[in-house]
Structure 1
């Protein structure tokens, strides 16, 4: 099969990211693999998705680093949806806030064209478009979530602060990677107005109950087809431990990864989110767990597979590619009878 990965840009993609890990896993299984930056997407006069991509083939590599370096050195070449079997949307819209606003929705828009061109698109593009901010999380059952309000009104946030006994988390409705996430308490209450104003510059503010278990970091669990991803008895999961003095556990924000045992409570949370993820065609998702609650559902570019693979000595990326191969086989067998949203989590 020919699988193309949509990334933010070739300049910002790094070999340690999950997308190159998935691409290398597909390449080792004999597939044609392409990488497309959001700005390299287009639409031709015949109604097809077109793009410029970096592709490499017919070479053997010692490992992922040499493979991805060779990919990055390639010149951009044209590709059409007529030549693609799978388009995997792995760009993060929140990385485009401020500088490339046009790029936030581009992958979903062109992904819809690819669906019409009979390309399997993961995750389902129209569902991703509706999940472009953290409001998507609020559509899941309340039992999963910490008490939360979303507003731009300072008084409402101050009232919530009092209700939470002067301890809460503030973060933007749009964003990821731990950017502009603040823990507010009695000690820094004098900065509350300033913090709200700073977050409001980019849109709405999420005010969320503080979970004491967050001092130990959070747990990232990867779900595939709505189920926890596992290989030979090991789950694709990692504990993200906060850097000292920081409430954020995101690896990009200084958190460190550690192994963790998957508990029945974690599996119960995963089971609660499963029906909606399946309904929405969310093939590969990362859920972030603190205590008995979910803090976030990452449906765009959930990372950590490389770290998880090293930690548990399992090839989780290979398992993802095998699942995609099955979907392509289903699509070809049923010849248009199965919709993209269903195939995405089948």
Structure 2
């Protein structure tokens, strides 16, 4: 399988992240693996083909993640025809480019859609990903598995919602890593105006009813082709617990990960989401769960495999690559 990982910038990739683990698993399995940055693509010089200045990712025996990534960055870029790929794994985070490089933000799905039309297997599906990168995507799933919510740019509407439901969370519709996520106690929140202003600077806000138990963190659960991702009977899932006085459990905000036992509530959520995720081509996603509610769907470059490996002493990335290989083989 000829496989490319599409990232924001090869030079800024981090060895510990999930993308590196996926690429290493693919290279270790004998696949031809490449890294392509958002700004590394040309169109037009080769009879309309998409051509990339790509960095080869080759596995060497006893490679650590650090050595594997360091060698990728040190290699000179080579020109590859992306039309000839078997699969493209979209791992760029468009929100990271939105402020500093707005031109780069939409190009993952744009190039992905072009290559999908040319017969390349693209994951996650670039057409659905246009919607799935937004927190609005959660609103397309059954009401029973998501908290009551409001999407708006009206500060007064946020105030009314807080007055109606009480304790709630406000955050940008397009956002990640816990940026501009605020807890609102009620409509009388002293800093409500400042919180609302900060969130609305990023566009639309989504306000969600606070789910009981959220003060203790949330669960990150990885799904592959609409099912719980597992390897050797161990789940790719963990609980994220906030530390200090910050109730945001994001690992990037200092949250710590602990083991998670998958129970009836989690399996019920997965069952309720599975059919739509598969229909939308959401091959690999991470969902954030509190109790019996999904509070967020991570469809664009979901991460956290380092926590899974540390907690369960298992690498589930080969399972993801094996499923992708089967998917490419099944195409006409």
1:93 to partner: Cα distance: 1.1
With normalisation by structure 2, the TM-score equals 0.96
Q: CA deviation at 1:117?
A: 2.1
Structure 1 gap ranges (5+): 336-346
Q: Is the 8 A contact 1:42 1:50 kept in 2?
A: yes
Query: 1:52-76, CA deviations, whole angstroms, 9 ceiling, x for partnerless residues?
Result: 1111437434322211111111122
Residues 9-44 of structure 1, C-alpha deviations (whole Å, 9 max, x = no match): 123320111000000001111111111111112323
- The answer for the alignment partner of 2:86 in structure 1 is 85
1:188 Cα deviation (Å)? 7.8
Over residues 258-287 of structure 1, what are the superposed CA-to-partner deviations in whole Å (9 max), with x where a residue is unaligned?
111111110110111111100001100001
Q: Distance in 2 between matches of 1:243 and 1:8?
A: 30
Match of 1:339 in 2: none
Deviation at 1:202, TM superposition (A): 1.5
Residue 170 of structure 1 aligns with which residue? 170
5 Å-filtered alignment, 1:223-234, equals: 223-234=223-234
Question: Would you identify which runs of 4 or more consecutive aligned residues in structure 1 move more than 6 Å?
Answer: none
Q: Is the 8 A contact 1:288 1:295 kept in 2?
A: yes
Please report how far the alpha carbon of residue 291 of structure 1 lies from its aligned counterpart in structure 2 after TM superposition. 1.0
Structure 2, unpaired ranges of 5+: none
TM-score when scaled to structure 1?
0.92
2:32 maps to which residue?
A: 32
State the match for 2:329 in structure 1: 329
> Contact 2:59–2:68 (CA<8 Å) still a contact in 1?
no
Deviations 1:217-257 (A, max 9, x none): 11101000100011111111011111221121111111111
Q: Which residues of 2 match residues 51-66 of structure 1 at below 5 A?
A: 51-57=52-58, 59-66=60-67
Q: How many residues align?
A: 331
Question: Could you list the per-position Cα deviations for residues 132-182 of structure 1 after superposition, in whole angstroms to 9, with x for gaps in the alignment?
Answer: 3111111111111111001111111111111123x2111001111111100
Aligned to 2:304: 304
- 1:320 has 2:309 as partner: no
Q: CA RMSD in A?
A: 1.6
For residues 319-340 of structure 1, give each alpha carbon's deviation from its aligned partner in whole angstroms, at most 9, with x where no partner exists. Answer: 1111111112112xxx2xxxxx
Equivalent position of 1:268 in the other structure? 268
Distance 2:12 2:328 in 1: 29
Equivalent residue for 1:116?
Answer: 117
